[in-house]
Amino acid sequence: MRPVSYSRVADVATAIGTVTADPGSTFLAGGTNEVDLQRIHVARSRRLVDINDLPLRQIEELPGGGVRIGAVARMSDVAQALPVRRRFPVISQALLLGASPQLRNMASIGGNMMQRTRCGYFRDVAAACNKREPGTGCSALTGVNRGHAVLGTSEHCIATHPADLAVALVALDAVVLTQGPAGHRQILADDFFLLPGDTPDREHAISHGELVVAVEVPPLPMASTSIYLKVRDRESYEFALASAAVAVAIDAGVVTDVRLALGGLATKPWRARQAESVLVGAPATIESFRAAADAELAGAVPHGMNAYKIELGRRTIVRALSTVTGDARMVSDDGNPP
């Protein structure tokens, strides 16, 4: 790790002012991603501004049935919070299927929203990577890309977004609340994450010094039976090969509303709007689910080793929809996924 200096701040204004004024600085919350990236010289901050003392830990139920999650709240606390488990089990499940218990005790929600890709070439400073060093090329295009994205890719970057939580948030139309030198902003989760395009180094729609202060999830009654399905090689402690966050409303066998987002397959948490539009008004049958999955993956682009992800993505969508319509239920009282 490069030499770094350290500041610990107690209020949001000081945090923002300090980081904004010092271009070499960055916020430090749980540290699970930031310390790791600093140590392998991918992140190169000269100063870490510790925001763990900021009063941003609350998890509040909002009038009408939404929730507001403070940015410094820990993954484990959010996963166990009763309003989250009752109203948005998909969030609780996505959190509990992520990382490990220790990491969930450390990692903050804001940091989770800001986490970087686990692409091995991004993490290897000796490799070409447009995300880390724009213009150097993308080693993954012709490299070991079994885990890489098939949706939302560009010729400059195919790095998979690693999120679980953000997949659920994108499905739920959550809003990211930020505060920066210019004031407050509310950014729709889907807009918060950027496609790589020609600028894979830009991953979030916020600027240096702008702080995620909370995430708000608007009311969505059908989310009370929502689920998160995660497919991976190892049963635990691994990022997704493919995942799906889904909530469905059905009336008389017909899908009246649906929220579907995908993880592990795309360069950002992927709202499956093509699939959603196929599903709304369609009968809640396996055929509809398959048609929706086909529609969503129609634009997928393989790059060799990751070609299987297109079929895996389809099947993950179908399985998630079948599960949520067939045997969906609330999370159990201990907060574990069903």
Partner 1 sequence: MKSYAETAGAVEVADTAVVRGPNSVVVRLSVNGTFRNILVEPRVSLLDALRDRLDLTGTKKGCNQGACGACTVWVDKRRVLACLTLAITCETREVTTIEGLSDGVDLHPMQSAFVSQDAFQCGYCTPGQIMSAVAFLAEGHAADDDAIREWMSGNICRCAAYPNIRAAIRQVRDEAGTGGPDATG
Partner 2 sequence: MSPVLGAALDRVDGRAKVTGAARYSGELNLPNLAHAVLVGARVPSGRIIGIDCRQASVADGVHTVLTHLDLPRVAAQPKLFPSLAGLTAHGQSFFPMQDDVVHYAGQPIAVVVADTVERAEYAGSLVQVNYAETPSATLLDQVRDQAYEPQRIFGGLVPGRNPDRGDPESGLRDAELTLDLTYRFAANHQNPLEMSTTTAVWDDLDRLTLYDSTQGPTATQLSVAELLGLPPTRIRVVSHFVGGSFGAKALIWPHVTLTALAARQVGRPVRLTLSRDQMFHSCGHREEQEQRIRLGADRNGRLAALTHDKISLTSHFDDWAETSLESPAITYAAPNYAGGYRLARGNTITPTFTRGPGEATGMFALESAMDELAHTIGIDPVELRLRNHADVDPDTGKPWSSKGLRECYQRGAELFGWAGRDPAPGTRWEGRWQIGTGMATAAYPVAAPISPQRARARMYIDGSVVVEAGISEFGTGALTAMTQVAADGLGLPVDRVRFVGGTTDLPNVAAAVGSAGSGATSSPVHLACTQLRDQLVRQAVADQHSPLHGADPAAVVVRDGRMCLRDRPEVGETYAELLGRNHIPDVETVGTWMPVLAPMTDYAMHTFGAQFAEVAVDADLGLVRVRRLVGVFAPGRILNRKTAHSQLMGGMLWGLSQALLEATRMDPNTGRWANASLADYLVPVNADVPEITIDTIEVPDPVVNPLGVKGVGEIGIVGTSAAIANAVHHATGRRIRHLPITVEDLL
Pick 10 or 286: Cβ nearer partner 1: 10
Binding to partner 1 in span 234-253, by CB under 8 A = 235-237
Q: How far is the CB of 280 from partner 2 (least distance, A)?
A: 25
The least distance separating partner 1 from the CB of residue 162, rounded to whole angstroms, comes to 13
Q: Which residue from 41, 82, 101, 281 is in contact with partner 1, where contact means CB under 8 A?
A: 101
Contact 282, 273 (CB under 8 A): no
Which CA distances in Å does 45 have to 37, 296, 309? 10, 39, 35
Stretch of 36-44, 82-90, 133-141, 149-157 contacting partner 1, by CB under 8 A: 36-44
The binder of 4, among partner 1, partner 2, none, by C-beta within 5 to 8 A per type, is partner 1
**CB 239 to partner 2: min, Å:** 8
Residue 181's CB is within 10 A of a number of other CB atoms, namely 14
| Least Cβ distance, residue 297 to partner 1 (angstroms) | 27
Q: Which does 311 bind (CB under 5 to 8 A by kind): partner 1, partner 2, none?
A: partner 2
SS3 letters across the chain: CCCCEEEECCCHHHHHHHHHHCCCEEEECCCCCHHHHHHCCCCCCCEEEECCCCCCCCEEECCCCCEEEECCCEHHHHHHCHHHHHHCHHHHHHHHCCCCHHHHHHCEHHHHHHCCCCCHHHHCCCCCECCCCCCCCEHHHHCCCCCCCCECCECCECCCCCCCHHHHHHHCCCEEEEEECCEEEEEEHHHHECCCCCCCCCCECCCCCCEEEEEEECCCHHHHHCEEEEECCCCCCCCCCEEEEEEEEEECCEEEEEEEEEECCECCCEECHHHHHHHCCCECCHHHHHHHHHHHHCCCCCCCCCCHHHHHHHHHHHHHHHHHHHCCCCCCCCCCCC
Contact with partner 1 (CB under 8 A) among 41, 55, 60, 102: 102
Using rule CB under 8 A, residue 186 touches partner 1: yes
Looking at beta carbons only, is 72 or 127 nearer to partner 2?
A: 127
Closest CA to 87 of 112, 58, 63, 57: 63
Q: Mark residues 171-200: x for contact with partner 2 by CB under 8 A, - for none.
A: ------------------------------
To partner 2, the closest distance from the beta carbon of 109 in angstroms equals: 21
Residue 319 within binding range of partner 2, rule CB under 8 A: yes
231 touching partner 2, by CB under 8 A: yes
Please pick, from the candidates 183, 184, 235, 334, the single residue that binds partner 2 as defined by CB under 8 A: 235
Choosing from 3, 63, 135, 183, the residue that interacts with partner 2 (CB under 8 A) is 3
Rg (alpha carbons) of the chain, rounded to whole number: 19
Q: Is 173 in the site for partner 1 (CB under 8 A)?
A: yes
Q: By CB under 8 A, name the binding residues for partner 2.
A: 1-3, 39, 41, 118, 120-121, 123-127, 139, 142-144, 146, 231, 233-238, 241, 308, 311-312, 315-316, 319
Q: By CB under 8 A, name the binding residues for partner 1.
A: 1-9, 12-18, 20-22, 28, 31-32, 35-36, 38-40, 46-50, 52, 76, 99-103, 105-106, 173, 175, 179-188, 191, 205, 209, 218, 235-237, 334-336
